[in-house]
Structure 1
């Protein structure tokens, strides 16, 4: 799907109230959101947690939670519509989904800045893609503030005063009271990786003790915008410290990254613009979700070599990757073709279900 935002659909949520047992919504400062389509509060979180506990008591076998963090190019309405169309499939696989909605205005601000800054020069050089891209990258270096503000918003969700962190503490306390243990499976798309980076850093730094009531089993990142340093300092470190058992990375091939129409005027993916523009005041910044940086990362290669994870590369051939599980080899594949596709691609979502369930037999599939 293209993210040329001018012609984006305006999705609607048919029953927001029904979804509140699956959503933690936060404002720009990370606090629980008191406005918008989905309103979160301590009372709402506690109702949600009671619902989770009841769900677990009714489920045979492992108790599984999925924490999903959307990317920075998603509005509240889009996030809600996506949740409404997907949450039943997770429940159908006996996985309780928790979706973290965080307010990001980066989408509109980026388009406005690009249009104002490079509009005339872009059209003067129409047809010269490389030159246009270089102009846009140089222009992006001049206004890192919107991108920095969006990253700050992402970081606040699981900061010590954030609504996501509040939910985690309340959940751990409730499970302890009920003498229940649950698996947690982390999934983050694009800038959602920054939320999960903060969550893991908080736990690695000893800000809360949630084990054994909450055990983090898998983490799946779709085209993450986190830097290579952030991957090293949180995700790889969590594997080394046994806080996280298995790690799965989904990225576009570099060929597809270089032809991704996600950003207005720009011929490459948003990750290239971040690496060469928005984060490049002191030179290109290695972004972990780009094949050119993931392929040469020693920590990722170590995770793969030790059988603690897999890297699914979405390319034009959609070649599967096989990962060993007790029931046999898991077949993991992505048919994403653009940056925004991962969160809607059935193959990617079904592969994520396989890694959460640790088997190929799904009770319900994404279509």
Structure 2
């Protein structure tokens, strides 16, 4: 069957553009390889990554070691947006000598959560004697109303389903578990050819909370270690972090970093323009099964936890915390994001992640992702 390269799906990408992503993107549905998505993935596609595409990239760069980054997008990112971001970001990773493998994992949270909040706001505005929507005084009081309404109308069920998708992928029979096994086989067959790195945005931390241990082999067959793990505003409960990722720091994860907002910025953020705090507060107040569950990406939750405060202590801790806005200090520890959804587009944040993965300060800046010609020239010069 001949595909029309001009055909576009919800992402706006043509069939040809989608096919070009196949060496770098693994798409999942309910934890399994996607079969009814824009970019369906098969076991053969994953096999081709590790038997053909990644080896060719390594050989072109002198045999390695080449950094390989596994990227997991957030829960508020649609499939279309994830694919469009992959097309934009993959050339940037490659230009920096980094081979990207990006999971598109169909969290489905954005549309559902937006619909629930819209319904809650409509109900608030329609209440007797309520002010007009444009005049409604959005405060901590109205935030509390939204949290209570979301909790009562299925918010925790939506969040639980998202976390189930993150978990199922790395369980036996899951698509991410297949990738983890392929990574183990590749690293054993070609020692020294690649280094492993994980990076996740927001709810992507929930994805890596399961995927990274699956690769490392905790509780199963021993596997390779990750040189770095970078979590951007992780929407991950502190207990889940302690159970899944913290035990690996120093062995299965050589270096872990978290990027988030200082408390005052998180409190000044908004979600959907009506909830007047960072979405992480919404997760804590309305979506997690237990109200007020501590969230790793909230600065006050880290400060209040003695174990995490020690772990992320800037002087003596074994992991790094970068609280935006941070414009001084090491080049791999900077961020100017002032909104939750800005972190995976923030140039200093993404540059910091790339520097941690590449192991050097001199990189092609994320700001060049808007300039395909610059990236193409860098890639050609590197060949």
TM-score over 0.5 (shorter chain): yes
The one of 9, 21, 24 aligned to 2:23: 21
Residue in 2 that maps onto 1:314: 324
Residue in 2 that maps onto 1:325: none
In structure 2, C-alpha distance between the alignment counterparts of 1:218 and 1:235, rounded to whole Å: 12
Q: Which secondary structure does the structure 1 equivalent of 2:344 belong to?
A: coil
Q: How many angstroms does 1:264 deviate by?
A: 4.6
Counterparts of 1:1-367 in structure 2 under 5 Å? Answer: 11-14=11-14, 15-28=17-30, 30-49=31-50, 50-60=52-62, 61-122=64-125, 124=130, 126-142=136-152, 143=154, 144-179=156-191, 181-202=193-214, 203=216, 205-211=218-224, 215-240=225-250, 242-279=251-288, 282-304=290-312, 305-306=315-316, 308-315=318-325, 318-322=326-330, 330-362=331-363, 364-367=364-367
In structure 1, C-alpha distance between the alignment counterparts of 2:97 and 2:305, rounded to whole Å: 35
In structure 2, C-alpha distance between the alignment counterparts of 1:53 and 1:298, rounded to whole Å: 44
Q: Which secondary structure does the structure 1 equivalent of 2:77 belong to?
A: coil
Q: Structure 1: 5+ residue runs without aligned partners? A: 1-9, 323-329
Q: Which secondary structure does the structure 2 equivalent of 1:217 belong to?
A: strand
Q: Which secondary structure does the structure 2 equivalent of 1:21 belong to?
A: coil
Residue in 1 that maps onto 2:375: none
- Answer whether contact 2:226 2:254 (CA < 8 A) is retained: yes
In structure 1, C-alpha distance between the alignment counterparts of 2:13 and 2:270, rounded to whole Å: 27
Q: Structure 2: 5+ residue runs without aligned partners? A: 1-9, 368-383
- State how many pairs are aligned: 342
TM-score by length of 2: 0.84
Q: How many angstroms does 1:74 deviate by?
A: 0.8
TM-score by length of 1: 0.87
Deviations 1:220-266 (A, max 9, x none): 000001101112112221115x1111111100121221122223521
Q: Which secondary structure does the structure 2 equivalent of 1:320 belong to?
A: coil
In structure 1, C-alpha distance between the alignment counterparts of 2:346 and 2:11, rounded to whole Å: 18
Q: How many angstroms does 1:11 deviate by?
A: 4.8
Q: How many angstroms does 1:135 deviate by?
A: 0.3
- Answer whether contact 1:118 1:139 (CA < 8 A) is retained: no
Deviations 1:179-231 (A, max 9, x none): 554211110000000011012344463233223xxx31101000001101112
Deviations 1:136-178 (A, max 9, x none): 0111222211111111111112222210110121232234334
In structure 1, C-alpha distance between the alignment counterparts of 2:82 and 2:24, rounded to whole Å: 12
Q: Which secondary structure does the structure 1 equivalent of 2:111 belong to?
A: helix
- Answer whether contact 1:66 1:184 (CA < 8 A) is retained: yes
